[in-house]
Amino acid sequence: MNDPLPLLLAGAAGLVLGAIFFAGLWWTVRKGLSARRPALWFFGSMLLRMGVALAGFYFVGRSDWRRLIACLIGFVIARFVVTWLTRAPVEDQHSRTPEASRAP
């Protein structure tokens, strides 16, 4: 298997699977905190996300460990991308008043 195309496609599939998994986790946390039954949200989301990810890894891997590793690398890269995209905004450090920055 000297052709890099299947590995690139497996990596791209891993990116998509990771984006679905981690964006779904982010959405679940945001919705689940204000839900009437948060345990149902979190448990249902976990089952759905894990099912999609495992089925995706199963179909992408197809008994080839190299495609499975490429898919895993794409999944991990998607974790960093989704974490970076959904981070909390950093407050402007220069917006503090001079009185608040002085020590008593």
The predicted structure's pLDDT at residue 104: 57
User: Could you report the per-residue pLDDT of 11-40, keeping only the tens digit for each?
Assistant: 999 999 999 999 999 999 999 889 899 999
CA distance 18 to 79: 6
The predicted structure's pLDDT at residue 55: 96
70 close to 15: Cβ distance less than 8 angstroms: no
And the tokens for 33?
């905190």
pLDDT band at 92 (very low <50, low <70, confident <90, very high): low
- pTM of the full structure: 0.79
User: Could you report the per-residue pLDDT of 61-85, keeping only the tens digit for each?
Assistant: 888 999 999 999 999 999 999 999 9
Residues 6+ apart with CB under 8 A from 41: 28, 31, 32, 35
Nearest residue to 44 via CA among 56, 19, 27, 57: 27
Name the strand (E) or helix (H) holding 81.
Answer: helix 65-85
DSSP, collapsed to helix, strand or coil, labels residue 89 as: coil
